[in-house]
Amino acid sequence: MNLSAPVLLASVEAPELQQVIQTRLDRWAGRVDILTDPVQLLQCLADHDYRLLLVELDWLGAGELLAEIKAIAPRLELIVLAGINERRQAVALLEVGASDYLLRPIEPAELALKLERALEFQTLKTQINGTLDTTANELLLLDQATREISHTWQSDETFKIVLTKASRLTQADLARIYLADPSGNLDPSRFLTHPAHTSIEADTILLPLAEQAAVTQELVHRQDLAPGTIQAALLVPLVSRDKLLGVLGLGYANRSSFAANHGRWLSIFCDQAAIAIENARLFENLASAYIDLAQSREKILHSRNTLQVLFDGITDGLYILDQNLTITALNQVEAERQGYRPDELIGQSCLSLAWTQAAPELLARIQESLTTGRETTWNSPESETEPYLKDREFRIYPIRNRIGHIEQVVVFGQDVSERRRWQASLFRSANLAAVGQLAGSVAHQINNPLTITMANSQLLLLEVQPNSEAYGLANDILKAGIRIQKIIENLLEFSNQETYFFVEADLIETIEGALALVTRSLKKDRVELVKDYQVRPRLSASVSHLKLVWMNLLLNARDAVVGHTDRPVVTIATQAVSEREVKVSISDNGCGIAEKDFEQLFRPFFTTKPVGKALGLGLYSAHTIIERHRGQINVCSQPGIATTFEVILPLDNPRDL
C-alpha cells in the first residue's frame, strides 16, 4: 500500500472506481489506496495519514463507526457511498461528521467533482487553521510581552523585552532599537541589537529609515529593497507624551515584505512599551533620589558607626575623661575588662575604678594634661603588683574645643608585656650571640695547641713499641685530641649560623654530630636514647644548620620527659618517605603539648617553659632552617602521653634558595 496516497477507497467496488479517482488525483500528486475488508478500516486509518476517505454506507452502520473514525483522523474528509434508496441514511451521516455522499450508480463526472471539492476544502481548511494558529500564537506572544513590560521597573530591561519579542513575532533577521537622547533626538551611536543578530551590518539601510520614523513619529515599512543585506525593513517609533524614546528597527534578509498585521500589532505594542519605559525611568529617577537621600543618611550613620567600631575594636584600654575626671566614653573591651558594660561606666568618676587608687602618679599625669594641655606618658614599674596596671603604658592626649580650651583628655592604656618580653629576648639573644662569638674565639685558641698535641702523639706512636705503656698513653692522648677536635668543630659550626653552605652530606652523620653535643646532657638526666636508623641517605644540606635542628628538637624532648615520667625515653628515627624524600622523627614520652599552643608553636619567642628557662627561638629557628631546605616540620602530640616531631627533607639540591 502506498503510504503517501491521499485517498483511501473502502468499498467492495473499489477496483471499478479506482481508475476514475486516480485520474483526478494526478493534480494532487498522490494515489488512491484500496481497502475491501471493513474489519481493517480503523487500523488502516490509524497507520496512515489520509486526506480523504470514500467508504460504503453499510460499513458505517448507524454512525457509531464514524465517531471512531473522527477520533482517529479528525482532519479526514469523508464521502459516503450509498445506494439510491439510502439517501436519507447518507444525509443523516452528514450531521454527525460526513463531508458529502455519492449515490449509485456513480457518475464519473460527479465523483471527480466531489473528490476535487473535498480535497480543495480540506486544503483551505488546513490553511485557515494554520493562519488562525499563527495569529493566535502571535497575539499570545504580544500579550505575554505586554504583561512582562507591565511588571518591569527597569527601562533597559523593557527595551530588551521589546527587542526580543518583536524579533520572535516577526522572525526578523535583524532586530535593533535606536535610542534617543534625553532631549528626544535620535542618537545614532546608541542602539541595542538582538544578541543573535550582532553579525549583521545594515546601518546604511535601517538608520536613515529610523531617522525618518523618528521625525514623523509614524511607522515606516519598506519592501522589495535592492538586493543586499536587507530586502525589507519595518521601523516603529517608541513615543510617550510626544517624546521620542527610540525607534524599533526590523529587517528581513530573504523576504520581500513584512505582514500587514505585524505593523499594526507592533505599533500598539510599542505605544504600550513606550509608556512602560517612561514610567520605568520616572521610577528610576525617584529611586535614585531616594538612594541619594538614603546614602547621605547612611554616610552619617557610617561615620558614626565607623568611629564606634574603631573605638570598640581597640583591644587596649581607651577612656575619655572630662575636667572632673568623669568618664564620658570608653571602649567595649575596656568596660568588659573592668567587669561592666560601657553604659554602666559612662557618667561615673574614674576614681570609682580600683586601678586609679593604685596609681596616684597616673592620676597626677592625667590632671597635669588637663591643666597644661601637654601630652604625657606613664609606664608601670616592673615591680607593679596591681594586675590591671602590670606591664601597661598609659598615654594621655588633651582634647581642645573650638576656642582652644581643654575640655577632655583621652587616656590610652596599652599592654606592653609583649614588647617587654621581646626586649628581654633580644637582650638575651645579644648575650647568646656574644657567647657564641666568644666560643668561636676560644675554639680557635684551643685548636692551635691541640694540633701540636695531636701531632706529637702521632709521632710518639711511630717511635715507641706498640706493646709499651708509652704507646697506650700516646694513643689515649690522640683519641682525646680527636674528641676535643670534634667538639671544637661543632662549636665553630654553631658559632656561625648566618650563612648556608649546601654540600652533599650523610644524614646520619648530621644527627650523630648533634648527639655528640647533647648525649652527655641526656645521660645526666637519665634519659634513654633509642636510635632507629632505617635508611642512611645522602642529601644536599647545610650541615651546621641541620645539626642545630636536631639539637633543638633533642633538647626539647629532654625537657619534656625530665620530671614527667619514671622511665624517660627519647627516640630518633629515619625512614624513607619516597625515592626523593626522607623523614626524621624525634619522639618522647613526656608531658606533651596542648592543642591550643599548636598554632603558636613555631612563632619566635613563644615558649611553654618558665620565664628565663628558654628564649622561645628553638622551634622557630628549626622551622626556618627546614623551610630553607625545602622541607616540612610537623608535630603530633597527646598531652601527658607522647610528642613526635617529624622533619621531611628532600634529597634534591636546594641551593637556588
Distance CA 255, CA 227 (A): 11
Peptide bond into 466 cis (omega under 30): no
The pLDDT of residue 2 is: 36
* pLDDT of 203 over the 80 cut: no
SS3 category, 406: strand
Tell me the pLDDT tens digit for each residue of 565-613.
889 999 999 999 988 999 999 999 988 888 877 777 777 666 666 654 5
Distance CA 617, CA 291 (A): 56
**Domain 152-286 in CATH 3.30.450.40:** yes
Q: Where are the alpha helices (DSSP H) in 171-259?
A: 203-216
Q: Compare 501 and 17 and report the one with higher pLDDT.
A: 501
Query: Would you call 351 exposed, middle or buried from its count of C-beta atoms within 10 A (0-12, 13-18, 19+)?
Result: exposed
Q: Which amino acid is at 386?
A: E
Residue 226 is given by DSSP the state P
* pLDDT of 434 over the 80 cut: no
The pLDDT of residue 65 is: 81
> Which DSSP helix (H) or strand (E) runs through 30?
none
The CATH architecture assigned to 7-130 reads: 3-Layer(aba) Sandwich (3.40)
For the entire predicted model, the pTM comes to 0.34
* pLDDT of 283 over the 90 cut: no
Question: Which residues fall within 8 angstroms of residue 491, CB to CB, at 6 or more apart?
Answer: 439, 440, 442, 443
From the options 3.40.50.1820, 3.30.565.10, 3.40.605.10, 1.10.3210.10, give the CATH code of 499-657. Answer: 3.30.565.10
The pLDDT of residue 136 is: 58
The pLDDT of residue 614 is: 56
Tell me the pLDDT tens digit for each residue of 471-516.
888 888 888 887 777 666 655 555 555 567 889 999 999 999 889 8
> DSSP string spanning 106-127?
PPHHHHHHHHHHHHHHHHHHHH
Q: What integer best gives the mean pLDDT of the chain?
A: 79
Distance CA 601, CA 594 (A): 10
Distance CA 218, CA 362 (A): 87
* 155 φ/ψ angles, rounded to the nearest 5 degrees: -65, -40
Fold of 313-415: Beta-Lactamase (3.30.450)
* 391 φ/ψ angles, rounded to the nearest 5 degrees: 55, 45
The pLDDT of residue 584 is: 95
* pLDDT of 156 over the 70 cut: yes
Q: Compare 142 and 516 and report the one with higher pLDDT.
A: 516
